[in-house]
Amino acid sequence: MRVALNARILQAPRTGIGHYVAELAPALAGEPGLELTLFHGWGWSSELPAAAMPGYSRLSPWLRQVPGAYQARRWLEQRRFDQGRHATIDLYHEPSLWPMSFEGPIVMTLHDLTHVHYPATQPPARLKEIERRLGAGMEQARVILTDSQFVAEEAQDYFGLPRERFVVAPLGAAPRFHPREPAELEPCLATYGLQAHSYLLCVGTLEPRKNLSQALLAHARLPETLRQRYPLLIVGMAGWEQGQFSDTLQKALASSHVRLLGYLPDEQLAQLVAGARALVFPSRYEGFGLPVLEAMASGTPVVLARCAAMPEVADTAGNYVNPDDVDGLRHAMLRLIEDDGHWQACHEAGLQQAKLFSWGRCARITARAYRQAMGG
């Protein structure tokens, strides 16, 4: 079976969907009877790019204001897609929201409905294009993959599609996310003046649905001595309309107890995850919550909101809070800082829970979905 996977998103610095493509593609390469080809937006290759294109932007701010900019780029990509495949593809897999036109079987991955629940996280022109194309793509796809049962069920309701069109393929944690000894972490942590298990960590794009403002407020309510000993590190790219909580962030940064590190290379992030006392992840909405799984695979306890798909990932290994309960979030942080027995229990429970997920399993389910779409 000759499969085309749209890997255009790998031109950008890797966040959720980019990591999905980067990890799924090599895992699929080990599936018998499957020949995978990657479409990179402007051409075809059998190899993953080593890194994002220098200076890449999905669409520059000034170009977003040009009428039809998204449509024009999409038209050019469609031309490249049509010219390169030469009728040698049996099935096309679209891992994001905008499937290309293809006359054969299509499998599509729907990671979440963020654009429905939080439309402000999308630039207006992009949101309009998603709304124009997504419904048609969902109708055309023979099989729709989701990362969680939660997304499968809400998509069935929202789009009015039958349950048999959906296949749940949970994600995995990359091998770089594993427990590490303090000595291994020392060179990385020393650059930030940190020691292993002496800080709290937030990971995610800076946008309102991630609810980082609550994490900042909860951390600010810890005793002064603990805030000095356990600063809060925030790792992630700037998001759309991040200014909605910029005042809270600026006040926290002024205290020196919060550090905004921005987007970090994969290995550096993996070391920071492994060295954290806890991952603080109070997001209001996630189609899966990959940082939660990556933290558990690293042996790092997780504080998270009991929202959306995240309980499917953490199950009983998570420390759950109400996303609007600042004091509850503060208490969860405090317990993981002060109660070594609880920390150890969460460490062990997370490692066991993470073993249930792997990219190999995701690839096997995905390959079965391909065969289902082909009628096999």
| Per-residue pLDDT of the chain in tens (376 residues, 90 and over written 9) | 999 999 999 887 788 899 999 999 999 998 999 999 999 887 888 888 766 554 444 544 544 555 567 678 778 888 888 886 656 899 999 998 888 889 899 999 999 999 898 887 777 877 888 888 888 889 999 999 999 999 999 999 999 999 999 999 999 999 999 999 999 999 999 999 999 999 999 998 777 788 898 999 999 999 999 999 999 999 987 765 445 456 766 777 777 799 999 989 999 999 999 999 999 999 999 999 999 999 999 999 999 999 999 999 999 999 999 999 999 999 999 999 999 999 999 999 999 999 999 999 999 999 999 999 999 6
Please give the pLDDT value at position 242. Answer: 47
Please give the pLDDT value at position 208. Answer: 74
The one-letter amino acid code at 244 reads: Q
Q: How would you classify the pairing of strands 44-45 and 35-39?
A: antiparallel
**Paired strand residues for 167:** 145
Please give the pLDDT value at position 46. Answer: 83
Q: Which residue spans of the chain are classified as CATH 3.40.50.2000?
A: 2-172+358-373, 182-354
Helix, strand, coil shares of the chain, percent, nearest 5, are: 50, 15, 35
**Six token digits for residue 242:** 């991040």
What's this model's pTM, rounded to 2 decimal places? 0.91
Please tell me the distance from the alpha carbon of residue 127 to that of residue 120, in angstroms, as a whole number: 9
Please give the pLDDT value at position 354. Answer: 98
Please give the pLDDT value at position 62. Answer: 43
Q: Could you please state the CATH topology (level 3) that the domain comprising 182-354 is classified under.
A: Rossmann fold (3.40.50)
Residue 19: what are its φ and ψ, rounded to 5°? -65, -35
Please give the pLDDT value at position 245. Answer: 54
Indicate the burial class of 340 (C-beta count within 10 angstroms; 0-12, 13-18, 19 or more).
exposed
Q: Report long-range pairs for 91-94 (Cβ below 8 Å, ≥24 apart).
A: 91/1, 91/2, 91/3, 91/4, 91/370, 91/373, 91/374, 92/3, 92/4, 92/6, 93/3, 93/4, 93/5, 93/6, 93/366, 93/370, 94/6, 94/137, 94/141
Q: Are 303 and 333 in contact (CB under 8 A)?
A: yes
The CATH code of domain 2-172+358-373 reads: 3.40.50.2000
